[in-house]
Amino acid sequence: MLKFAKDFNISDPLKWEERLKLIGFCMLVKMEIVKKIGGLDESFSPAHYEDDDYCFRILKEGYKLLLCKDTFVHHYGSKTVAILPNNGLDSVNGGRDIFLNKWGFNSPNGVAREVNIINVTKEPVDKKMNVLEVGCRCGETLLYFKNKFKNSKLYGIEKNVNEAAIAANFANISNIDLDKENLFFYKGLFDVIILANSLGQFRDPLKVIKKLKSYLTPTGIIITSNKNIMHSDVVSDLIKGKCSFSETLNNIRFFTLDELNKLYQESGLKVKEMVYSNKITNPEVVEKLCNITQPDLKWLYEAHTFYHTLYHEEGNE
């Protein structure tokens, strides 16, 4: 391990990534920051969310957080949590509630989704791009985008003023309601517009997409991600009188793949690519649903989230 660390720990700024938060097992913090904001908030004791809180306090002061992928640290792991009652679950729930009450939003935890959004973008990594995310929350997806495409200029729309204040540290953020208002940017500004699980929050999603389309460059793209209402977990819960989409509580509508395709076609946009992520928690339920309907729908019962890349129908493929 020591030999590996010696070979690995070679400083390389190209391997540094700006992040919204860092996990507190190993953090190097300037003393000037500690003197300015103080130490950890002990109301989070004995564990959980105190590092999230500290990161947001640092961001609030205008500093950046860097994940250094040129550095190897050996961490034995979870020695404090292991001795807590109920495997630390009470501490997790308590910390989450304290964070929510303090900041006015839940601590972001959507890494998998953000990575999927970024991976469907096939542009050269050195391309200069203007990127807008609708419903950007604290800007986690935007930061992931910037880490891959270093020459990107970031913009966001977020209604939650507390989350918008965090994202405003590194992006141009506005608080408009796209159902009622137009963007104040000039037309044809954006190379990429991201709608990550936010399309279902609008009363008129077709109107919103048409509005956003006018702000695309001629070769620009819109990237959307949407939870699949046909997923087996959702269907199974609905049969039992429950709803499982707790992560999209702000939505007023959900979509099947067919509904999404019709929506995009009516907007005048063309689907350049569609990929999806699977989530199979109960294969038996999937098989039963196939028996009730038809076997070739299996992939739709397993598809959890659809990722679409859209472009101007009159534009270049």
Instruction: Tell which wins on pLDDT, 122 or 126.
Output: 126
Residues 206 and 281 reside in one and the same domain: yes
Query: Smallest Cα–Cα separation from 65: which of 166, 148, 133?
Result: 166
- pLDDT digits 0-9 by tens, 247-293: 556 788 889 999 999 999 999 999 999 999 888 888 999 999 999 99
Residues 98 and 126 reside in one and the same domain: no
**Is the Cβ–Cβ distance between 265 and 299 less than 8 Å?**
no
Instruction: Tell which wins on pLDDT, 244 or 41.
Output: 41
Read off the pLDDT band of 23 (50, 70, 90).
confident
Strands 269-278, 303-312: pairing is antiparallel
Q: Is residue 140 part of a domain?
A: yes
**Is the Cβ–Cβ distance between 109 and 20 less than 8 Å?**
no
Residues 140 and 195 reside in one and the same domain: yes
Assigned token pair, 301: 């019962």
pLDDT for 110 equals: 53
Q: Where are the alpha helices (DSSP H) in the chain?
A: 2-8, 31-37, 50-60, 79-82, 89-103, 111-119, 140-148, 161-167, 205-213, 232-239, 257-267, 283-292, 298-302
pTM of the model: 0.87
Contact residues for 106 (Cβ-Cβ < 8 A; gap 6+): 96, 99, 100
pLDDT for 24 equals: 84
Domain that holds residue 86: 2-103
Cα angle 91, 94, 100; round to 5: 135
Buried b (16+ CB within 10 A) or exposed e, 188-204: ebbbbbbbbbbbbbbee
pLDDT for 119 equals: 74
Phi, psi of 162 (to 5 degrees): -70, -45
- pLDDT digits 0-9 by tens, 31-69: 999 999 999 999 998 888 999 999 999 999 999 999 999
Residues 261 and 129 reside in one and the same domain: yes
Residues 156 and 95 reside in one and the same domain: no
Residues 79 and 121 reside in one and the same domain: no
pLDDT for 203 equals: 92
Residues 161 and 191 reside in one and the same domain: yes
Residues 67 and 205 reside in one and the same domain: no
The total number of structural domains in the chain stands at 2
- Tell me the CB-side half-sphere exposure of residue 122, using CA atoms within 13 A: 8
pLDDT for 212 equals: 94
